[in-house]
Amino acid sequence: PTTRRYDFVITEGQGWPDGVVRDMLFINGQFPGPLIEANMGDRLVVNVTNKLSANSTAIHWHGMYQNGTNWFDGTTGITQCGIPPGQSLVYNFTLEQFGTYWYHSHYGMQYLDGVLGPLIIHAPDEADVRHLYDQERVVLIQDWYHDVSTVNLETYLAPDNENTEPIPDNGLINGMAYFNCSSYDSNSGHTCFDNSTYSVLSLEPNTRTRVRFINTGGFTEFELSVDNHTLSVIEADATLVKPVSVHRVPIHVAQRYSVILETNQSTSTNYWLRGAMMTNCFTGDNPVLDPTTRAVISYSGNSTVLPSEGASVDWTDALPVHCIDLEESNLVPATQNPPPGATKMWRIDFSFGIGAYQLDRAKVNGTSWSPLDNTTTLLQAIDGLSGSGGNSHKTEAGSNNNNSNSSSWAVDGPIEAFGSDQFVVGVSTTNNNQIDVIDILLYSLDEGSHPFHLHGHELWILQRGAGPFNWTDYHANTYPANAPRNAHALRRDTFTVPPYSWAVVRFVADNAGLWAFHCHIAWHLEAGLMMQFASRPDVLAKMAVPEDVRGLCAAAGAGGGS
Ligand code: C2O
């Protein structure tokens, strides 16, 4: 194993990924941020320096287990306080997994302004698929807004907005896209450079490329396709799957897919890579939006010409019948890894408040998350469980002194001590002396489509449905420990809950820490669509958070915070 060191300097400035100038954030002056590539078992050491003028920052390594290093999960208010302007934090953890991941700021909605990038981990375990491709490319796709996230948030939270998310102005692929400047008239307030262009993937004819797609956006689900080429899906969120050949791949916010693309068509043209936005989740129109985000696949020998009309044809136009869209239920893991039986089940309902005074908040079992100031639920849990009430740690400002009764912390279920804006469910408690295997029945009472992510774990996707949940079927087939297990259940870290439907997902609660479980739509997270699991209180009580991480909370308390 190697130690891989990176320095990330977060700065603000103006950028124009699609020609339209706006205030943005950069990592080392770049957007998207640098590609981190490593091998499983390596140690990743990233020194993050905040050079922003007013806001804190924190970097989350999306999908990493962080087993034994929960404090480096990068989740503001849960595992760390933000890094204040002018300060640094060195993230230092072992890469225990392989596959396609990414990293992003987990401070408010900051990643939408540019603090994100790909994290690719290789491993000998990939040998089984390595013969399927000759080279790799990483493709980030995301919705894009011509205003900064805080401006959009104000719109989203405005009275009378009825939970209508801002509609993107454009989509980007690898931080680039074309935009027609004449869409804005001269008094739009936007400066637009006319030379915006598409990202190009230059490949050799008759080769096979593993394209690693990552949706790094804030709201929009895309359907990915390449004109005239079928795509063979081999990975879903770092789980290798038996190849499935499709025309289109739906990818929701924070999800990843690897596909094999063979350059086996005519070399007389280039081809469009299309990301069709699923606009059915948009409320209203945005007249400047072209809902198909594009890049160019080039193996014609001339990467500067655009695909020719009539030769590069969208599958939706080319096919007499429906496109074959990837369905998650058709994905079978390449290696069978059936889930252990569940020991507990938690039903989690979520919705957005209805009624004039609740429109701006999401409700998770009646609670709505908001970030803590000057402390984290991790520090509160450690101090509460160890009975120190925070007083033994002078660097921790603002610790909650009600937490001194350690018995109120070792709870199997919702932990009252955190209060209603920190909905924390305790699992794998000491009393039963076992590692819990948790089923979550996640029930959406909302008309949108929500990509849910659990930090620090992979989830088995066991059941999905709409309408009333069938408890008889669940008890017969899924739960408890001795029920038959689906050896083909897919495991991933971000799954979609369609409108008014439910999903049963399972995880092994063996990873000590405070783990966020939330909708990855940036507006929804900001509106409180988040809860946490507190795992292994026995280990948590003794967890030694490094002083530099604790110190961030003291710095925040001293006025450097949110
Ligand atoms: Cu991509 Cu809470 O994270």
For the Cβ of 516 lying below 6 angstroms from any atom of ligand 1, the answer is yes
Between CA 260 and CA 267 the distance in angstroms is 18
Between CA 516 and CA 112 the distance in angstroms is 19
Q: Do 167 and 217 contact (CB within 8 A), yes or no?
A: no
Position 555 scores a pLDDT of: 73
Ligand 1 atom with the smallest distance to the CA of 62 is 1
Ligand 1 centroid – CA 258 distance (Å)? 20
DSSP code for 556? I
How many C-alpha atoms does 34 have within 13 Å on its Cβ side? 14
For the Cβ of 359 lying below 6 angstroms from any atom of ligand 1, the answer is no
For the Cβ of 62 lying below 6 angstroms from any atom of ligand 1, the answer is yes
- How many Cβ atoms sit within 10 Å of the Cβ of residue 394? 9
Ligand 1 centroid – CA 397 distance (Å)? 26
pLDDT digits (tens, 9 = 90+) for 128-158: 899 999 999 999 999 999 999 988 888 888 8
Q: How large is the C-alpha radius of gyration of the chain?
A: 23
What residue type is assigned to position 127 of the chain?
Answer: A
Ligand 1 centroid – CA 78 distance (Å)? 12
DSSP code for 545? -
What residue type is assigned to position 206 of the chain?
Answer: N
Phi (first) and psi of residue 127, to 5 degrees: -50, -35
SS3 label, residue 314: coil
Q: Do 222 and 171 contact (CB within 8 A), yes or no?
A: yes
**Helices and strands (DSSP H and E) totals, the chain:** 8, 31
For the Cβ of 252 lying below 6 angstroms from any atom of ligand 1, the answer is no
Helices (H), 48-198: 127-130, 149-157
Which residue positions in the chain have pLDDT lower than 70? 353-359, 388-408, 410, 430-433, 479-484, 556-562
pLDDT digits (tens, 9 = 90+) for 238-277: 999 999 999 999 999 999 999 999 999 999 999 999 999 9
Q: Do 175 and 31 contact (CB within 8 A), yes or no?
A: yes
Ligand 1 atom with the smallest distance to the CA of 518 is 2
ipTM higher than threshold 0.95: yes
Q: Is 481 exposed, middle or buried (0-12, 13-18, 19+ CB in 10 A)?
A: exposed
Ligand 1 atom with the smallest distance to the CA of 75 is 2
Ligand 1 centroid – CA 453 distance (Å)? 7
Ligand 1 centroid – CA 115 distance (Å)? 13
Ligand 1 centroid – CA 69 distance (Å)? 16
For the Cβ of 520 lying below 6 angstroms from any atom of ligand 1, the answer is yes
Tell me which residue has its CA closest to atom 1 in ligand 1.
62
- How many Cβ atoms sit within 10 Å of the Cβ of residue 553? 27
Ligand 1 centroid – CA 319 distance (Å)? 37
Position 394 scores a pLDDT of: 33
Ligand 1 centroid – CA 35 distance (Å)? 18
Ligand 1 atom with the smallest distance to the CA of 104 is 1
For the Cβ of 524 lying below 6 angstroms from any atom of ligand 1, the answer is no
Position 486 scores a pLDDT of: 77
Max CA separation in the chain (angstroms): 73
For the Cβ of 104 lying below 6 angstroms from any atom of ligand 1, the answer is yes
Between CA 510 and CA 427 the distance in angstroms is 9
Ligand 1 centroid – CA 317 distance (Å)? 36
DSSP letter string over 7-69?
EEEEEEEEE-TTSB-EEEEEETTBSSPPPEEEETT-EEEEEEEE--SS--B-EEEET---TT-
Q: Do 390 and 497 contact (CB within 8 A), yes or no?
A: no
Q: Please give the C-alpha separations between residue 194 and each of 19, 178, 183, 187, 191, in angstroms, as whole numbers.
A: 6, 9, 11, 17, 10
Position 77 scores a pLDDT of: 97
Ligand 1 centroid – CA 253 distance (Å)? 10
Ligand 1 centroid – CA 529 distance (Å)? 12
Ligand 1 centroid – CA 104 distance (Å)? 8
Between CA 309 and CA 125 the distance in angstroms is 42
DSSP letter string over 318-334?
H-SS---B--GGG--BS
Ligand 1 atom with the smallest distance to the CA of 63 is 1
Closest CA relative to residue 211, chosen from 242, 233, 229, 227: 233
Tell me which residue has its CA closest to atom 3 in ligand 1.
62
Its sign, for the CA torsion 369, 217, 562, 534, is positive
The kind and range of the H/E element at 502 are strand 501-508
For the Cβ of 254 lying below 6 angstroms from any atom of ligand 1, the answer is yes
Closest CA relative to residue 31, chosen from 13, 43, 58: 13
Ligand 1 atom with the smallest distance to the CA of 530 is 2
**Residues 233-260, buried b or exposed e (16+ Cβ, 10 A)?**
bbbbbbbbbebbebbbbbbbbbbbbbbb
Cα angle for residues 397, 399, 404 (degrees, 5° grid): 145
- Domains of the chain in start order, with CATH, are 1-122 (2.60.40.420), 124-335 (2.60.40.420), 344-560 (2.60.40.420)
- Which tokens in the block code for residue 196? 């915006």
Its sign, for the CA torsion 244, 239, 509, 79, is negative
